[in-house]
Amino acid sequence: MSKVTVGKKVPDFTLPATGEQDISLSDFKGKNVVVYFYPKDSTPGCTTEGQNFRDKINTFRRRKTIILGISRDSVKSHNNFREKQQFPFDLLSDKEETACKLFDVIKEKNMYGRKVMGIERSTFLIDDKGVLRREWRKLKVPGHVDEVLEAVKEL
């Protein structure tokens, strides 16, 4: 499977998600979709990032934009994380790294002096026709959601 490219249609993918359902990108035809990849449920940076998307959800909804979070954690872990943080959007489990590979977010990271492969925090904005419009890689959490919202407003 080829990797996503800004300006090109994003291939459809389906992953298990919170609420014991499978979610496909194609479920959201006619809406903008923000897909954000994060390393791990219930860690400080990932919690803050999710909370920032949660706190701006009504503004995204007014712009016909869906938020989806993806990590390699299990659906059970996602359900607990989502419930505890009251996220009004679904979290998708990518244990097989299907979407991670499609979006090329698995990178070598340094964890306590050891090199490991993990998700590099990244966000992608897909328009209502399924075309990738923006990508943010190696991002920092503070101010990021506002940046994504500004990009949504430009669509």
| 8 domain-assigned | no
86: domain CATH number is: 3.40.30.10
Q: Which residues are catalytic?
A: 46
Instruction: Summarize pLDDT for 85-119 with one digit per residue, the tens.
Output: 999 999 999 999 999 999 999 998 887 888 888 89
| 5 domain-assigned | no
Using pLDDT thresholds of 50, 70 and 90, give the confidence band for residue 147. Answer: very high
pTM: 0.95
Q: What is the pLDDT of residue 1?
A: 57
Mean pLDDT in residue range 49-78: 98
CA–CA dist 87, 51 (Å, integer): 7
CA–CA dist 127, 65 (Å, integer): 9
| 120 domain-assigned | yes
Q: Domain tally for the chain?
A: 1
Q: Which domain holds residue 78?
A: 15-19+30-154
CA–CA dist 104, 27 (Å, integer): 22
| 135 domain-assigned | yes
